[in-house]
Amino acid sequence: MSAPRVELSTEVEPAAATAPKTVFIKTFGCQMNVYDSERMAEALAADGYAQTAAIEEADVVVLNTCHIRERAVDKVYSDLGRIRDIKQQRLADGKPTTVTIAGCVAQAEGAEIARRVGAVDIVVGPQSYHQLPSLIARTRTEGQIIATDFPDEDKFAALPVRKRAANTAAYLTVQEGCDKFCTFCVVPYTRGAEFSRPVAQILDEARRLVASGVRELTLLGQNVNAFHGVDANGREVSLAGLLKALALIPELERLRYTTSHPRDMRDDLIELHASEPKMMPYLHLPFQAGSDRILAAMNRKHTAADYLALVARIRAVNPALALSTDIIVGFPGESEAEFEATLDMVRMVQFAQAYSFKYSARPGTPAATMDGQLPEAVKTERLHRLQALLAEESTRFNAGCIGKIFPVLFEKPGRRAGQLIGRSPYLQSVYADVSASAIGLILPVQISGAGPNSLAGVVCAA
């Protein structure tokens, strides 16, 4: 029985007083941060917060930050300057703002950020963001809060269950942290020790996402192929085992995973690229440098020859598989000849795509205090040469796609009306004229044009 209207109206507050609370979230860094931001938005939605794209209107501002290179951190501090002004202006209008620093800068710098920027209310690390709604409530009475411990509870279990993802191609974090300690890298310090989520928890999340319309999943982890989750029977499951279980979900059509370490590329995973049609023929496999001396100084624990042999094994299993990679130039002590060994690797492997970076000394990492730190100008010059070669390689790969018919998963509207953007199996953006109702569908597209970063195509008639 419903209550009489008049009684109800005495119980609820007037609409103006219950205007929805809003949160603005900006994401820096890797896909894992993109995933974390979605989960933070969901946790806050369960607490009554709607997301806004207008920072000036937000009651809560979250910067989900990245610590990987100095420049990533500089961007956060420059944003914070602007946010401090917005917070002041809003306060003058009688509207408080809760400023939250989440992610890897939060973990690495902790209380230091709150000390440097008084406008910051909450500093919350990547393992504690499930506490965000309660931290926001607490900061109103307690002032600045630093939550950078690695708590005992499982954040994934504590977060609200997922109802949908932002896109038909979604991310799903299955593994976090890293025990590899490459000498240049902050991740083992910001994300903590390697940890795999339980298999049942992952399958449950995947099924919910697929039920909401997701057709492609990219499993995420800083070291995703080191995944070793435990199934409901207490048995250990490799990444290949997890992918096989996910492939059984009928409406889930495509599977990817990133980022893999060359040393954890096991045979069962390589073989899955031949036996499982849902596995996309594309693998992100960072090699970082072509010189064995530099690789050893980086503590990568593989040589250039190991990497090439691995690529050969993968290509023998699936010749159609394309590779992408990460490369660092200007590691301490890198000579011109050692840099050229990196160029040689690029020529030998022929990557479809690559991300390349100037070495950035990170506080607290072993490489930051090594001898032979190179001048910025040397790093810049090497990066330009490398990127010119990489652009040639990716342009050639993309041009080789012209005339082929690719299954394309359409994800979102393109730049022009009547156009959508989708993804090829090789993760290329594909632009095609097709009605908006195709979002979420995989359609055959004949590739008609190619640039360094995207393809154009025509949807084939049914």
Binding site for ligand SF4 (CB under 6 A): 178, 180-182, 185, 187-188, 222-223, 261
- Look up residue 302 and give its two tokens: 């593989």
Among the residue ranges 66-74, 88-96, 316-324, 343-351, the one whose residues contact ligand F3S (CB under 6 A): 66-74
CB of 190 to ligand F3S, least distance (A): 5
- Smallest distance from ligand SAH to CB 238, Å: 18
Q: What share of the chain is helix, strand, coil (3-state, %, to 5)?
A: 40, 25, 35
Which residue, chain included where needed, has tokens 């632009």?
A: 431
Check residue 185 for interaction with ligand SAH (CB under 6 A). yes
CA 204 to chain centre: 21
Where b means 16+ CB within 10 Å and e means fewer, 370-388 reads eeebbeeeebeebbeebee
Mode of pairing for the β-strands spanning 175-176 and 195-196 = antiparallel
For ligand SAH, the closer of residues 32 and 445 by Cβ is 32
Residue 64 vs 288, nearer CB to ligand SAH: 288
Binding to ligand F3S (CB under 6 A) within 216-275 occurs at 222
CA distance 124 to 136: 11
Which of ligand SF4, ligand SAH, ligand F3S, none does residue 328 bind (CB under 5 to 8 Å by kind)? ligand SAH
Residue 282 to residues 150, 206, 227: CA-CA distances in angstroms? 34, 21, 19
**Residue 197 beta carbon to ligand SF4: minimum distance, rounded to whole angstroms:** 17
**Residue 422: its H or E element:** strand 419-423
Q: How far is the CB of 297 from ligand SAH (least distance, A)?
A: 13
Q: Counting contacts by CB under 6 A, is residue 33 touching ligand F3S?
A: yes
Which of ligand SF4, ligand F3S, ligand SAH, none does residue 357 bind (CB under 5 to 8 Å by kind)? ligand SAH
Q: What angle do CA 238, 240, 241 make, to 5 degrees?
A: 65
What does 404-419 look like in DSSP terms, one character per residue? Answer: -EEEEEEEEE-SSTTE
Token duo for residue 243:
């992918």
Stretch of 48-56, 64-72, 225-233, 417-425 contacting ligand F3S, by CB under 6 A: 64-72
Shortest separation between residue 219's beta carbon and ligand SAH, angstroms = 14
Query: With CB cut-offs between 5 and 8 Å by kind, which of ligand SF4, ligand SAH, ligand F3S, none does residue 425 bind?
Result: none
183 binds, among ligand F3S, ligand SAH, ligand SF4, none (CB under 5 to 8 A by kind): none
- Cα–Cα distances (Å) from 162 to 24, 204, 249, 334, in that order, read 20, 9, 17, 46
104 makes contact with ligand F3S (CB under 6 A): yes
CA distance 210 to 199: 16
Least spacing, CB of residue 331 vs ligand SAH, in Å: 8
Which residue, chain included where needed, has tokens 């330009």?
A: 384
CB of 182 to ligand SF4, least distance (A): 3
User: Given the rule CB under 6 A, which residues bind ligand F3S?
Assistant: 29-30, 32-33, 66-68, 103-104, 186-187, 190-191, 222
Q: Under the rule (CB under 6 A), what is the footprint of ligand SAH?
A: 68-69, 184-185, 187, 222-223, 259, 261, 286, 288, 326, 328, 357, 359-360, 362
